[in-house]
Protein backbone atom coordinates (compact mmCIF):
# COMPACT_ATOMS: atom_id res chain seq x y z
CA UNK A 1 0.00 0.00 0.00
CA UNK A 2 1.48 3.32 -1.02
CA UNK A 3 0.43 6.52 0.74
CA UNK A 4 1.31 10.15 0.13
CA UNK A 5 4.30 11.40 2.13
CA UNK A 6 2.01 13.26 4.58
CA UNK A 7 -0.22 10.25 5.25
CA UNK A 8 2.76 7.91 5.49
CA UNK A 9 4.35 10.21 8.09
CA UNK A 10 1.14 10.50 10.16
CA UNK A 11 0.56 6.73 10.13
CA UNK A 12 4.17 5.96 11.06
CA UNK A 13 3.98 8.40 13.99
CA UNK A 14 0.93 6.41 15.15
CA UNK A 15 2.85 3.11 15.04
CA UNK A 16 2.00 1.80 11.58
CA UNK A 17 4.75 0.52 9.29
CA UNK A 18 4.51 -0.97 5.79
CA UNK A 19 3.97 -4.72 6.03
CA UNK A 20 2.66 -4.47 9.61
CA UNK A 21 0.82 -7.62 10.64
CA UNK A 22 -0.99 -8.13 13.94
CA UNK A 23 -3.40 -10.92 14.83
CA UNK A 24 -6.96 -9.68 14.20
CA UNK A 25 -8.59 -12.81 15.68
CA UNK A 26 -9.44 -11.39 19.15
CA UNK A 27 -11.26 -8.41 17.60
CA UNK A 28 -13.03 -10.50 14.97
CA UNK A 29 -14.19 -13.11 17.50
CA UNK A 30 -15.45 -10.51 19.97
CA UNK A 31 -17.59 -8.78 17.35
CA UNK A 32 -18.81 -12.01 15.79
CA UNK A 33 -20.34 -12.69 19.22
CA UNK A 34 -22.58 -9.65 18.47
CA UNK A 35 -23.83 -11.29 15.28
CA UNK A 36 -21.43 -9.64 12.83
CA UNK A 37 -19.78 -11.66 10.06
CA UNK A 38 -16.10 -11.30 9.29
CA UNK A 39 -14.84 -11.09 5.73
CA UNK A 40 -11.39 -11.11 4.15
CA UNK A 41 -11.26 -7.34 3.67
CA UNK A 42 -11.77 -6.60 7.38
CA UNK A 43 -9.32 -9.33 8.42
CA UNK A 44 -6.68 -7.80 6.13
CA UNK A 45 -7.48 -4.24 7.27
CA UNK A 46 -7.18 -5.11 10.96
CA UNK A 47 -4.02 -7.16 10.44
CA UNK A 48 -2.38 -4.03 9.01
CA UNK A 49 -4.04 -1.19 10.93
CA UNK A 50 -5.62 -2.70 14.05
CA UNK A 51 -4.46 -0.96 17.22
CA UNK A 52 -3.25 2.18 15.43
CA UNK A 53 -4.39 5.44 17.06
CA UNK A 54 -3.92 8.61 15.02
CA UNK A 55 -3.95 11.87 16.97
CA UNK A 56 -4.45 14.57 14.36
CA UNK A 57 -6.29 17.89 14.35
CA UNK A 58 -6.53 21.10 12.39
CA UNK A 59 -7.96 22.05 9.06
CA UNK A 60 -8.11 19.50 6.30
CA UNK A 61 -8.98 19.50 2.63
CA UNK A 62 -12.78 19.73 3.00
CA UNK A 63 -13.32 19.09 6.72
CA UNK A 64 -11.38 19.18 9.97
CA UNK A 65 -8.71 16.56 10.53
CA UNK A 66 -9.89 14.57 13.55
CA UNK A 67 -8.31 11.81 15.64
CA UNK A 68 -9.28 8.19 15.08
CA UNK A 69 -8.47 4.88 16.72
CA UNK A 70 -8.56 1.59 14.85
CA UNK A 71 -9.60 -0.62 17.75
CA UNK A 72 -12.77 -2.64 17.09
CA UNK A 73 -13.25 -3.18 20.83
CA UNK A 74 -14.37 0.45 20.98
CA UNK A 75 -17.43 -0.70 18.99
CA UNK A 76 -18.55 -3.43 21.40
CA UNK A 77 -22.27 -3.01 22.00
CA UNK A 78 -22.82 -1.39 18.59
CA UNK A 79 -23.28 -4.61 16.62
CA UNK A 80 -26.96 -3.88 15.93
CA UNK A 81 -26.06 -0.49 14.43
CA UNK A 82 -23.59 -2.09 12.02
CA UNK A 83 -25.98 -4.92 11.14
CA UNK A 84 -28.83 -2.48 10.41
CA UNK A 85 -26.69 -0.21 8.24
CA UNK A 86 -25.20 -3.21 6.44
CA UNK A 87 -28.70 -4.34 5.54
CA UNK A 88 -29.78 -0.82 4.60
CA UNK A 89 -26.96 -0.22 2.12
CA UNK A 90 -26.49 -3.82 0.97
CA UNK A 91 -22.91 -4.17 2.22
CA UNK A 92 -21.37 -6.08 5.12
CA UNK A 93 -19.88 -3.33 7.31
CA UNK A 94 -17.65 -4.66 10.10
CA UNK A 95 -16.58 -2.31 12.93
CA UNK A 96 -12.92 -1.29 13.01
CA UNK A 97 -12.79 1.63 15.46
CA UNK A 98 -13.92 5.12 16.31
CA UNK A 99 -13.48 8.60 14.90
CA UNK A 100 -13.38 12.00 16.61
CA UNK A 101 -12.92 10.59 20.13
CA UNK A 102 -15.98 8.33 19.99
CA UNK A 103 -18.34 10.70 18.22
CA UNK A 104 -18.50 8.34 15.21
CA UNK A 105 -17.65 4.72 14.48
CA UNK A 106 -15.60 3.38 11.59
CA UNK A 107 -16.28 0.22 9.60
CA UNK A 108 -14.96 -1.64 6.57
CA UNK A 109 -17.07 -3.55 4.05
CA UNK A 110 -16.24 -6.62 1.99
CA UNK A 111 -14.85 -4.41 -0.82
CA UNK A 112 -12.41 -2.61 1.53
CA UNK A 113 -14.52 0.55 1.58
CA UNK A 114 -14.14 2.56 4.80
CA UNK A 115 -17.27 4.08 6.39
CA UNK A 116 -18.13 6.64 9.02
CA UNK A 117 -21.10 5.22 10.93
CA UNK A 118 -23.51 7.17 13.14
CA UNK A 119 -27.28 7.65 12.68
CA UNK A 120 -26.28 7.90 9.00
CA UNK A 121 -23.46 6.35 6.98
CA UNK A 122 -20.80 8.05 4.86
CA UNK A 123 -17.97 6.58 2.79
CA UNK A 124 -14.32 7.62 2.75
CA UNK A 125 -13.96 5.42 -0.35
CA UNK A 126 -12.03 2.21 -0.94
CA UNK A 127 -8.65 1.53 0.62
CA UNK A 128 -5.98 2.87 0.26
CA UNK A 129 -7.65 6.11 -0.90
CA UNK A 130 -9.92 5.94 2.15
CA UNK A 131 -6.97 6.24 4.53
CA UNK A 132 -5.70 9.23 2.57
CA UNK A 133 -9.14 10.86 2.85
CA UNK A 134 -9.46 10.08 6.56
CA UNK A 135 -6.02 11.43 7.48
CA UNK A 136 -6.07 14.48 5.18
CA UNK A 137 -9.56 15.63 6.19
CA UNK A 138 -11.67 14.90 3.11
CA UNK A 139 -15.43 14.97 3.71
CA UNK A 140 -16.88 11.46 3.33
CA UNK A 141 -19.79 10.97 0.93
CA UNK A 142 -23.14 10.34 2.63
CA UNK A 143 -24.40 7.00 1.31
CA UNK A 144 -27.57 7.04 3.39
CA UNK A 145 -29.22 9.33 0.85
CA UNK A 146 -28.25 7.02 -2.01
CA UNK A 147 -30.15 4.01 -0.69
CA UNK A 148 -33.56 3.30 -2.09
Query: What span, in angstroms and rounded, lies between the C-alpha atoms of 90 and 11?
Result: 30
The pLDDT of residue 44 is 97
The DSSP symbol for 90 reads T
Low-confidence spans in the chain with pLDDT less than 70: 1, 145-148
Query: What span, in angstroms and rounded, lies between the C-alpha atoms of 3 and 18?
Result: 10
The pLDDT of residue 1 is 61
The pLDDT of residue 148 is 46
The pLDDT of residue 2 is 85
CATH code assigned at 66? 3.40.1580
Condensed to tens digits (0 to 9), the pLDDT of residues 31-69 reads 999 999 999 999 999 999 999 999 999 999 999 999 999
Q: Can you give the residue range of the structural domain that contains 91?
A: 5-146
Q: Which 3 state secondary structure label does DSSP give 70? A: coil
What residues contact residue 86 under an 8 Å CB cut-off, 6+ apart? 92, 93, 109
How many residues can be counted in the chain? 148
DSSP per residue over 28-39, as a string? HHHHHTTT----
The pLDDT of residue 89 is 95
105 vs 1, 44, 84, 97, 110, CA distance in Å?
Answer: 23, 19, 14, 6, 17
Indicate the number of domains in the chain.
1
Amino acid sequence: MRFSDEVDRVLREAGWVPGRCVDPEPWLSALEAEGLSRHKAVSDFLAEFGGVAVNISGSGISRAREPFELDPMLCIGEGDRFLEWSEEIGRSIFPVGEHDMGRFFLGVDERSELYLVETWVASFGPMPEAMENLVLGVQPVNVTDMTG
